[in-house]
Each structure stands twice: as C-alpha cells, then as structure tokens.
Amino acid sequence: MTNSSKNIDVRNWYLSGFKDFESKLNGESESYLHLIRKLAFEKLGNTEFPTMKNEEWKYTNVNPVLETNYIPAFISEKTVITADDVNERIYTGFDCYKMVFINGEYSEELSDMENLPEGVTAGSIRKLLKEQPEIVEKYIGKNLYKENAFNLLNSAYATDGIFVHAAKGVVVEKPIQVVYINGSKDQNLLITPRNIFAADENAEFSVITNHSGIEGKSYFTNIVTEGFLQKDAKIKVYKLQNEADNAYHIERAEVDLKETSIFSHYNITFGGSLVRNDINTELNGEYCESNLYGLYFGSTDQHIDNHSLVKHMSPNCESNELYKGILDDSSRGVFNGKIYVRKDAQKTNAYQSNKTILLSDDARIDTKPQLEIYADDVKCSHGATIGHLDDTAYFYIISRGVPAELAKSMLIRAFVDDVVGKINIEPLREQINHQIFEHLHRVEI
C-alpha cells in the first residue's frame, strides 16, 4: 500500500467512526467541547497525517501509527483496573494528590483528590465540563494554533483529561500525580487525553503525569495539553512516560506565559515504540522563564522524537533547555529545538543544549538546534554533542577496582545527573535513577 493511500484509509477509518462515537455521547453532544470536536472532525477531513517530506517530521516516519485502525477508547470495551494495578505504577515516597485515568477516562474510585486547598479546581475535565463548564471553556482550545492531523484527531475524539486551575495566590504544596493506565488485552485503542493546566496570578502547582501501559494489544496515546500562566505564576510538569513497548505516544503541549511567570517541564521518556513530543512555550510578558528539561532512554528499536519551540515574544525573558539521552541497541532519537526571538524581545537570554550518548553502533540520533533571532540585544547559545561513554572517565573508575559494567553504570548516572538533579522531589529522583538502569538493562548503582 502506498503512503498516501494509507494516509487516506486511516483518516477514513477515524472519520467514519465519528458518527458512532457521537451517538454515544448522550447529553455531552451539547457541550462546548463538542463544538471543538465537530470543528476538528471537519478539518481532519482535509488534513493529511504528516509525512517525512514535512520538515517538522523529517526524521520520524509515522506510518507504523497509521497501519492499525485504533478504536476510540470511549466506545471500546472497558478495561478493568484495580487499586493494585495503580499501586504497582505510582511513584511513591512523597505526599501527593492522585488522579487515575484508565484509557484516558477518569476513575473516581481509584483517584484521591481530597482536601485540595480552597481556590483549586482539579479533576476530570469531563466531569468539570458538566459541573462548571464556564471555567473549562475559558481555556480549552485557546492555545492551539497550527494543528496537525494528530492534534485534530485528539480534538475530534477527546472526552476526558486533566484539569487543574489554581486561583490567584493559591499555592498547592503537594504535587498532583496523574496515573494513566493504558491499553487493552483485546482491542487496539486510541486514547486521547485532553489536559489543561492554568495558574492565576501568584498561584503555584506541580503535576506529575505518569503514563503507563498494560501488556496487550498495541495502543495509541495521542495527547493535547494546554498551559496558562498568569503574572508570577509557577507551574511544574513532570512527565514520566512508561508506556507499553508496543504503544505509540504523541503529545503536543502549548504553554502561554505572562510576565514574571515560570514554567518548568521535565520530560522523561522510557516507554513506547514510537514517541513524539512537541513541547512549546510562548513567553508573552516580560521577565518570564521557560525551563525545558528532558531525558530519553532508548533500547531495542524505540524511536523517540522530541521537538520544542520556545517563542520569546517579550523583552527580558529567559529560557533554558537541556535535553539528554542515552540510546542503546538499534534505538533512534530525534531532537529538534527551536528558539525564536521576536524583534522587540530585547535582552533575551536563551540557552539550549542537547547531548546524546550512543551505547551501540546501531543506535542513532538526529539533532537539529534552530535559532531564529530578530532582536539584536540578546544572549543565545545552543549546542549539541553526540558521543560514547568517556574512555578516560571509564579508565579512572575501573582503575579503582570497580567492575566494567558497574563503571559504565556510574558513567550513565554521571551523564544524566544534571537533568535528574533538577527534579526537586527526592524520592522521585531515586525512582527515576532506578528506572534508567532497569530500562537500559544495566547494573544499578
């Protein structure tokens, strides 16, 4: 089958399923979200899934994602998930609020959102659309521009997701941990979480999104996340992606920052067969800060593509980006980070770095830093390195009697330390360190 006919076939599959999906929405077909769905559905009819001819998808072939006719999870048979299943997956050792989504649908009974501070609205976006539609409608879809077919597919089939809003001056001390459990033993599922993170003036919160899968059929997680930070707000998002080996995972995140706000994103990829993240921030006020940190660990034939766009629209802002990866076996990585500085965004400080270690001859990374600067008084730097574990450092460690395999693990830990060290929840750091060695099949140190 040719690529273009596959492209048409899969779109026809999703388009033809829409009527059935719509008929099962019951009262929800009157909601604001449904207007978004219908609009997206119409646009999807005229929008092709991206191919490698598209500059933004040059190194990522999405054909494997288009080969299967995934069934929207909302109309699929339900997967039974128990509290034990959640406990196996949740990051522990610290206090947190807990939201659980099974194939993208919120589970009230498995979640624990008790005792949220006053002024915080957090929970299932579907439920909140019924109970407090005005607060959700204020944000949903407001930050999405230039949607591609995947984003449209999310919009067309989105029914649920995370909603967190903190009102002016409210600081949520405990992080909110969101456990996604995805997949089915019998059906190929399309899972379409739709997330909103919004912090009003001086408000602060942290969210840990913990994406996990069950052993079974291949599934496709296709997420859209929108972030809104008002003056002096702070949001931290820790994305810990542990999807099943045979899963596809695509997320598009668009974050809008107003003056003196700080957005920090920690994007850690372990799972998934094909992974694509688009993490975009737009600095729309003076003195705001965008921090994008990432780690990616590839083994077997995983394909992990991280794209980012940091748009400096106002003067005196700072952006930091540090992405590091370790690729083993025949895994493949892509990094494409773009920094855009508008003409009047003077006194911009923008830093970007991408470093990758290849542990095998068959592993590969395509890295492409891009600067597009129209202001003249800016400090911007970017750099990319690709290498192997440092021979001299390796010799130093084994010359102390440390066995070769353990020495390599020490070097891996040393390599990722500056990114892992930025996560200020210590038990989470320890669990991530553990996962790194487990995922790369290496001795733990």
Sign of CA dihedral 22, 214, 274, 414: positive
Tell me how far, at minimum, the Cβ of 432 lies from other proteins, in Å. Answer: 12
Contact pattern for other proteins over residues 415 through 434, marking x by CB under 8 A: -xxx-xx-----------x-
Question: Which of 106, 150, 133, 129 is CA-nearest to residue 253?
Answer: 150
CA gap 422, 321 in Å, rounded: 12
131 vs 417 by CB, closer to other proteins: 417
> What DSSP letter does each residue of 15-51 carry, written as one string?
HHHHHHHHHT-GGGGGSHHHHHHHHHHHHHTT-PPP-
Q: Where are the alpha helices (H) located in 273-403, listed in sequence order?
A: 391-398
**Which residues in 332-391 contact other proteins (CB under 8 A)?**
390-391
Tell me how far, at minimum, the Cβ of 437 lies from other proteins, in Å. Answer: 12
> Which residue from 112, 396, 422, 437 is in contact with other proteins, where contact means CB under 8 A?
396
**Which residues in 128-157 contact other proteins (CB under 8 A)?**
none
Contact status: 19 vs other proteins (CB under 8 A): no
343 and 315 in contact (C-beta within 8 Å)? no
Tell me how far, at minimum, the Cβ of 403 lies from other proteins, in Å. Answer: 6
Residue type, 331: S
Piece of 207-215, 219-227, 286-294, 392-400 that binds other proteins (CB under 8 A): 392-400
CA gap 418, 174 in Å, rounded: 24
Contact status: 413 vs other proteins (CB under 8 A): yes
Pairing of strands 303-312, 274-283: parallel
> Which residue from 169, 387, 403, 427 is in contact with other proteins, where contact means CB under 8 A?
403
> Which residue from 31, 402, 431, 437 is in contact with other proteins, where contact means CB under 8 A?
402
Piece of 117-125, 189-197, 228-236, 414-422 that binds other proteins (CB under 8 A): 414-422
Q: Label residue 23 exposed, middle or buried (CB < 10 Å: 0-12, 13-18, 19+).
A: exposed
77 vs 405 by CB, closer to other proteins: 405
Piece of 130-138, 231-239, 359-367, 396-404 that binds other proteins (CB under 8 A): 396-404
Tell me how far, at minimum, the Cβ of 57 lies from other proteins, in Å. Answer: 34
Tell me how far, at minimum, the Cβ of 359 lies from other proteins, in Å. Answer: 17
138 vs 434 by CB, closer to other proteins: 434
* Bridge partner list, 189: 71
CA gap 288, 235 in Å, rounded: 12
3-class secondary-structure state, position 294: strand
Tokens of 87: 């406990």
Contact status: 399 vs other proteins (CB under 8 A): yes
169 and 419 in contact (C-beta within 8 Å)? no
Tell me how far, at minimum, the Cβ of 298 lies from other proteins, in Å. Answer: 20
Q: What angle do CA 146, 282, 379 make, to 5 degrees?
A: 125
178 vs 411 by CB, closer to other proteins: 411
The secondary structure element, H or E, covering residue 154 is helix 149-157
Tell me how far, at minimum, the Cβ of 413 lies from other proteins, in Å. Answer: 4
64 vs 421 by CB, closer to other proteins: 421
Query: Please, which residues have CB within 8 angstroms of residue 184's CB and are 6 or more apart in sequence?
Result: 76, 77, 79, 103, 214, 216, 217, 219
| Total of chain residues touching other proteins, rule CB under 8 A | 26
Tell me how far, at minimum, the Cβ of 242 lies from other proteins, in Å. Answer: 21
Tell me how far, at minimum, the Cβ of 433 lies from other proteins, in Å. Answer: 8
- What's the first-to-final CA gap in the chain, in angstroms? 48
CA gap 240, 441 in Å, rounded: 18
Tell me how far, at minimum, the Cβ of 438 lies from other proteins, in Å. Answer: 16
CA gap 354, 342 in Å, rounded: 23
Tell me how far, at minimum, the Cβ of 408 lies from other proteins, in Å. Answer: 12
2 vs 399 by CB, closer to other proteins: 399
Contacts with other proteins by CB under 8 A lie at 390-393, 395-404, 406, 410-411, 413-414, 416-418, 420-421, 433, 445
